[in-house]
Each structure stands twice: as structure tokens, then as C-alpha cells.
Chains A and B, each alone.
Chain A
Amino acid sequence: MALLLRTVARQGQCLSRSQFGVLYRHAVPMGTTANEEMNKFWAKNTRLNRPVSPHISIYKWSIPMLMSISHRGTGVALSSGISAFALAALVLPESYPYYLDLIHSMTFGPQFLAFSKFALAFPVAYHTFNGIRHLAWDLGKGFKIPEVYRSGYIVVALTVLTSISLAAM
């Protein structure tokens, strides 16, 4: 590629002879990628120790914003939970039923159990339903702002209902 560009440049005529000649008479192909330009931007600003303008701290929160970061938050929480569980399985000496009985012998009552089930079910339900909402967006559906809010409310409603139902099981 470089060889081709150099050959063309050395001749200095190919560009001006093309059908778009008038447009590109004094044009040069770009040498840096967008990624390189971005890195240069950050490197320079960090080097000069420039302050960053407030952005997240001052922008007004909206439902879509909240739901988006919650999707990420529940994702991280669930992933951490699964990893912690896997790590525990590798490290702890006894079997799962043993530890489960241990926890049950320590519980403070049925309300505690129901609440724990709700606390576990809630992030799973939210991440699942909002995940479906994301997949709909990936298909190109539901981008109009009223639709975004409507689907958002449906996700929250479904999450609460599902979590309560699961906690009651």
C-alpha cells in the first residue's frame, strides 16, 4: 500500500488525472488513523495536566441514562457473583449442600429468606429484560424517544413483577 502511494506521489500526476481530478488536485491521503489521533489528543492533554470540564457530575439524569448504566451495573454485579461462586467452589473444602444448610441454620426468619431471593432475582430479571430491549435495538426497532421510554417502563415493570413472583416461590 505504501509503495503504491509513494509511486503515485512521485509521479504527482495520477491524482490530478482521475475523474475527480478537480476535487483532489491538492489532496493528500491521511497518514494517521482515528485511533492514533485520539491517543495523541489524550497524551497531550494528560501531559499538560489540563483539567477536564464537569460532564457526568452536572448533566441532568434521564431514565434511559439510568437504565443504561444499571444494565452495565447489574452485568458487572452478576458476573462478579458468578466468578466469586466459581472461586468458592474451587477453594472451599465442603460441598454446596453443607454450606447451604450452614446458612439456613443462621437465618433470621422467612422475611430474610424472601428478601434474599428478591435481591438475587432482581438484577437477573432486570439484566435479562433490559437485555431483550437491547436486542430489539440491535434489530433496529424502538429508537424513537417515546418508544425508548415506553420500553424502559415495561422493562422496569416486568422486572419488579418477576422478582416478586420468584421471591414468592
Chain B
Amino acid sequence: MLGIVRQKMLGQSLLKIRPAISVLRSYSSAAKQMTVREALNSALDEEMSADPKVFLMGEEVGEYQGAYKISKGLLEKYGPERVLDTPITEAGFAGIGVGAAYYGLKPVVEFMTFNFSMQAIDHIINSAAKSNYMSAGQMSVPIVFRGPNGAAAGVGAQHSQCYASWYASCPGLKVLSPYSSEDARGLLKAAIRDPDPVVFLENELLYGESFPVSDEVLDSSFCLPIGKAKIERKGKDVTITHGVGAEICASVVEESFAYLDAPVERIAGADVPMPYAANLERMAVPQVEDIVRAAKRACYRAVPLAAAA
């Protein structure tokens, strides 16, 4: 039940189904619980501690302790030279971050939400993503752009957009979308250590969610590989993935058509700007019942929406 409730709050396309029971089986009964917020905070803390070239920059990251408290305590610990409060000028500070990365520093640039990254998108793509290629390897850009992405709750059209497919279409960028605390910790550490520009898409609704984490995850050397999806639960009837649905569908059809027993299904955000009214917002975002219905269709056990109502 807990797993399913969590799914409801994610505004991404196809979601991982993560029943609480199988999760509990994987870890010892003394497993520590960690929120995604704590996971991100500890990852930032450890990477800043390990490498003096790593610094954090963004709106309210310092004195305010982070708009969503992800950078809590970091200003006190590392000082104003490494935790910088910027004015509300994304194009400017993203460009400054990329310039610092050219020179060899390792900036972590926070966007209060990725909606505001559009003000900086020229620097993310033209100054960061393409530089290593255009310079034949001279200019690597070890920068991380991170922040909440996608739907939240009732924040309206200009604050709810998902940029996963936008950034994932850009060669030169590595785009990560962690789910659990383990994902968040391991992938943020990997992102900061990576020599290439990484777009790290978090989600505000997950920040307060707790997940069990093993001792291995808690260790400061813990790191996850970039580019490898996690199998949350093994099965044999249907595969449910999450993320850039159209690209995944196309790849699966191109590479593995012969393996398919049914056409690929897609559940995604509705093709409308995000409405504010609660009932319309619910319709604009994938719900658990949409995923269940699509999974059953793929297994030829379809229950149409009208019949279920």
C-alpha cells in the first residue's frame, strides 16, 4: 500500500511499482530510514567535504538553508565561498557556473525548480552540453544542474512542467531522475564526480518521503553507476518502466520487436498546460489506476475506464 501511495504523487510518465513488502524483504530489519531530502543533503555534504573544488550556487541555498531545505547546514559548514546565494538571475548564474566548470571547478547549480532553468537553457545546452565535442575534448564541463522537476501540488502551469524529455534529447548531457533515497544519494554523488554536465531531476513531492537505506548506502564512498536502470522488482508478465516514455517505446520496438507479446503502451502527462483546479490537475497527471489499466491491457486483461467507473 505504501509503495502504491508513493506512486500517486509522482508526476512522471510510467512509474516503477514498488510494493512495500518486497522492499522490506531486501534489507535487514534494523535498516535505517532516510528521506530523499536527507539523502541529497548528505550526498552534497560528503562530496563537498571530499573535494574542495565542489561548490554550490543558487537562490536561497545559503542563509535560507535551501528553498526546500536540501542544502540545510551547508553554509555553516563550508562558508560563503563554497555556498553562494545568487540573485534571481538564472541566465547569469548558470553561465557563471559553466565558466567556473571550464576552468576546472565542480559547480553544483541549483534551480529552485526546473521551470526556471528555461531562462538558462542556452548555457546548459550551448555552453555546457556541446563544449567537450566542439573542443575535441579540451573543454570538459564537470557541472551538475539540479533541482525539483515536474508536477507538484497545485502550483499551476508555469511551475509544473517536466523537462526530462527536453534535456534527455540533448547529446552531451547526462540526465538523471532518481526515485528513492538510495537512488538520490548514489546518483548525486556520481553526478558530482562525473566529468560531464549532468542534469539531475529531483521531485518536490519526494523530498519528504522516507526509504530504508542499507549501511552500504550510508557509507561516504557509496556511488551508483550512471546509465544503468535499477530493477526494482523482477517478474515475467509485463515490464513497467518510468521516464521518457516515447524514447523507451521507440527503442523497445526497434531493438526487441520479436520479443514483444503485445503493443507497447504509454501512460504520460496529458497534452495540456497544467491546470490549477484540483480535479483537472488530477486528470492531467498519471494516476495509479491508469498504470494498472495499461498493464492489464498489455496482458490482454483489459478493463476499460468506462466499465471500471
**Do A and B actually bind?**
no
